[in-house]
Amino acid sequence: MDQQAIHQALQQRTITLPDGTRLPALGQGTWNIGDHKANKEQEIQALQLGIELGMTVIDTAEMYGEGKSERLVGEAIQGRRDEVFLVSKVYPQNAGLKQIKKSCKNSLKRLGTDSLDLYLLHWRGRVSLAETVEGMEQLKAEGKIKRWGVSNFDTDDMEELWSVPHGKNCTTNQVLYHLGSRGIEFDLMDWHEKHEIPIMAYSPLAQGGSHRRALTTDAVLGEIAANHNAAPLQIALAWTLRSGNVQAIPKAGRAEHVIANAQAAAIELTQEELKKLDEAFPGPGQKTPLDVI
């Protein structure tokens, strides 16, 4: 596939936020990007290629390299901020009313921008949800963020969030989800579909298969990949995008990996292939703790 064909395929894969904003279903993650100076130019070029292909959602966090990832993203999007839907995350210990404003200000400075398109609570901590939501709403009112959401929230967490003032303004929930980690399908995914809030899937490739080795070695996955002239991880990524309610943000620090991820958006799995994948990687039969890396 040439770049134009890839771009067209990506344009056809979208998710819709509660406010009606349509976004590419395939974005770019940056966990572990920016950690090593030797990789800096290669990683910047990879992010910029992703933008050019249409993977314009870029996710980062103050935790990633303690700000190194945000700085690298800031360099990558310099002069093209308007092309990007920019996401960052706040540490739970920084999610109180006073500290969240400081954390957001620092993230904005590192990213070289005056506002975030989406700001997420990275995971639950000791700060009450009510206080965090109040802080998020204040940041919105001040124009520092346009939307807010959460990460690593299970169904009970989402229900509790829904009960606090303005908690229903949550835009998304970023959780671990890939073919080898399907626990959210038991009830969390249904909750999100009922409330029309998309899931943002981090590590949809299970960190290159290292989190679940079978994603690179399973015979069924390999067979389906061969049918599509693709790699097993491309099939796994296409599987994650299959519903239209999930946005995936794989990390790619090299241009060839960016292109491989983007090509996965054009793969249409048949019902028979999906059935085979369900048999090889069964969904959850009972409630399990939220999977994290």
Asked if residue 56 is part of any domain, the answer here is: yes
Average pLDDT, stretch 50-76? 97
Q: pLDDT by residue (tens digit) across 206-259? A: 876 555 768 889 999 999 999 999 999 999 999 999 988 999 999 999 999 999
Q: Would you state the pLDDT for residue 173?
A: 98
Band of the pLDDT at 48, cuts 50, 70, 90? very high
| Distance of alpha carbon 105 from alpha carbon 218, whole angstroms | 45
Contact 280, 223 (CB under 8 A): no
Residue 240 phi/psi, 5-degree rounding, is -60, -30
User: Tokens 């298969």 belong to which residue?
Assistant: 209
Give the separation between CA 141 and CA 234, rounded to whole angstroms.
40
**Mean pLDDT computed over 176-184:** 95
Structure confidence at residue 3 (pLDDT): 81
What pLDDT does residue 207 have? Answer: 73
* Average pLDDT in the chain: 95
The verdict on residue 141 lying in a domain is yes
Q: What is the pTM of this model?
A: 0.96
pLDDT tens string 82-119: 999 999 999 999 999 989 999 999 999 999 999 999 99
Look at the chain and report how many structural domains it folds into.
Answer: 1
Question: What are 246's strand-pairing partners?
Answer: 199
Q: Give the mean model confidence (pLDDT) for residues 158-164.
A: 98
| 289 lies in some domain | no
pLDDT surpasses 90 at 12: no
Residue 279 in any domain: the answer is no
| Mean pLDDT (whole number) for 22-34 | 95
pLDDT at 210: 53
- 231 inside domain: no
Rounded CA separation 143/147 (Å) = 10
Domain of residue 62: give its range. Answer: 3-8+23-209+246-253
CA angle, residues 71, 75, 80, in degrees to nearest 5: 130
CATH code for the domain in which residue 94 is found: 3.20.20.100
